[in-house]
Amino acid sequence: MVAIALAGSLFFDISLHAARPHVLLGLVLTFVPFVVIAPAIGPILDSVHGMRRAMILISAIGRAILCFLMASDLKSLLLFPESFGLLVLSKVYGISKQSLVPEIASLDNKDHEAFLHANSTLNFYGAISGFIGSAVAIAIWKFPGLGSPWVLRVDSLIFIVAGLCGLRVPRAKVAKGDPLGRVDPKFGDKYTISLHDTDPYGSVDVRDIKSKPSLAGSKDISRKKIAKVPEQGPEIRISHRPIKNRIAKQRMEKLFSAASAIAVMRCVVGFLEFLLIFTLRRDHYSIYWFGIVVVSLTVGSVLSNLVAPQVKKRILEEQILPAALSAIAIINILALLVPGILVEALVMLTTALSTGVAKIAFDALVQRDTPEERRGTSFARFETRFQLVWVIGAIIPVAFNVPLSWGNISMALLTICACTAYVVRVHLANRSSNR
């Protein structure tokens, strides 16, 4: 709703030549909040207990206030600092939500595979509500006498409702001696596994076990082979620090390779969105074609949340990324062979679908492979890079008149190179770990 309100006042109400500097300034403003979030907000989320839940409430109430102020300042220079604050709070909410998913998911399911399902569920409801919000915003914007100011006023009320809903976010119960709360229900607190002695990538390095019964039935550690614990005997201390460090290094190499693949897809999404928007505006297409592009983007985002869990049943998260890059390359090659706006809308749908599925898989990897005390900072840094490449991709068609055919060629070549680089880097990481 905010995007439609700002587009109505800064894009469609003025000429294309005058719109370009407004859009460029808006793109820069979308990246600047991450410069604030990465060094400041991430560590705060990680260091203060309960801050992630509190930030969800703060971001909702703050955006409600800013939307109400923006409704009166659409023709004023105050619109830009208010938009900046809105973007900061929006990104704070996104990072807080992503960091909170493992804590909330662990209340019902301690298996990391639940993270992907939780991410897709949250994103699905977000996409559906975004589609409904877009329809409501367009209806208000088109209604005589209302326009963009009333879109923002209604949005302010919706954010107040969001704040009230945020009060219902459950608090994660943290077990003593384990910040992640991983205590087997069979034994209660009869044994503890220290967070710092637990491999954050799914396997357990048992160092301090204070228990007489066997741990063979433990759901938390039965997925990995561990040393058998005798029923009677002294406290057992096992240390495999060199092995653990090697596993950590391998996992981080794969995680950064995955981040590079997502960065390429985010760049393609930003490039394609503004390439189609400015092409339609430059060639004087009707408003309905803009609607088709927006619907394609929305449908692709919604479908990605339904497809991701089904894809995960067949392949691993690491394999989803090259598959998504390949799909984007193939659809752009098809657009070169069969040119037309309808085919470009199909390119938009496929790109949004593939990127959405890959991003859900990547979020699950970060939630699985990053220690809890570093999760907020990790998400902040990754999102900063993703937003930067999205802005870089979007600036190109805004600043220059790029033909659709050249755009398709560029996107196809970029995704093919990214897919090849990802497969090679992962293969090298696997080979080094098997030595």
Q: Place 334 in a pLDDT band, splitting at 50, 70 and 90.
A: very high
Tell me the per-residue pLDDT of 97-107, one tens digit each, with 9 for 90 and over. 877 877 776 55
The total number of structural domains that make up the chain: 1
Contact 165, 357 (CB under 8 A): no
Q: Which residues are within 8 A (CB) of 212 and not within 5 positions of it... i.e. 6 or more apart?
A: 190, 231, 232
How many other CB atoms are found less than 10 A from the CB of residue 336?
13
CA atoms of 114 and 190, how far apart (whole Å): 26
Report the pLDDT value the prediction gives residue 222, as an integer from 0 to 100.
42
Q: 423 lies in which domain range? A: 2-173+244-430
In a domain, 32, yes or no: yes
In a domain, 224, yes or no: no
Query: What would the two tokens of residue 61 be?
Result: 């109430």
In a domain, 391, yes or no: yes
In a domain, 414, yes or no: yes
Identity of the residue numbered 133: G
Tell me the per-residue pLDDT of 191-218, one tens digit each, with 9 for 90 and over. 333 333 333 333 333 333 344 444 444 4
CA atoms of 62 and 41, how far apart (whole Å): 15
Report the pLDDT value the prediction gives residue 322, as an integer from 0 to 100.
93
For the cut 80, the answer to whether the pLDDT of residue 66 exceeds it is: yes
Among 136-140, 306-310, 354-358, 369-373, name the most confident range. 354-358
pTM of the model: 0.67
Query: What would the two tokens of residue 418 be?
Result: 């990214």
Tell me the per-residue pLDDT of 368-404, one tens digit each, with 9 for 90 and over. 777 767 777 777 788 888 888 988 898 898 888 889 9
For the cut 80, the answer to whether the pLDDT of residue 11 exceeds it is: no
In a domain, 214, yes or no: no
Contact 234, 248 (CB under 8 A): no
Q: Work out whether the CA dihedral 219, 221, 223, 225 comes out positive or negative.
A: negative
Question: Could you tell me the CATH number of the domain that includes residue 92?
Answer: 1.20.1250.20
In the chain, pLDDT over 90 holds for what percent of residues? 21
How many other CB atoms are found less than 10 A from the CB of residue 282?
10
For the cut 80, the answer to whether the pLDDT of residue 166 exceeds it is: yes
How many other CB atoms are found less than 10 A from the CB of residue 164?
12
CA atoms of 215 and 195, how far apart (whole Å): 17
Partners of residue 209 on adjacent β-strands? 236
Report the pLDDT value the prediction gives residue 253, as an integer from 0 to 100.
78
Contact 41, 95 (CB under 8 A): yes
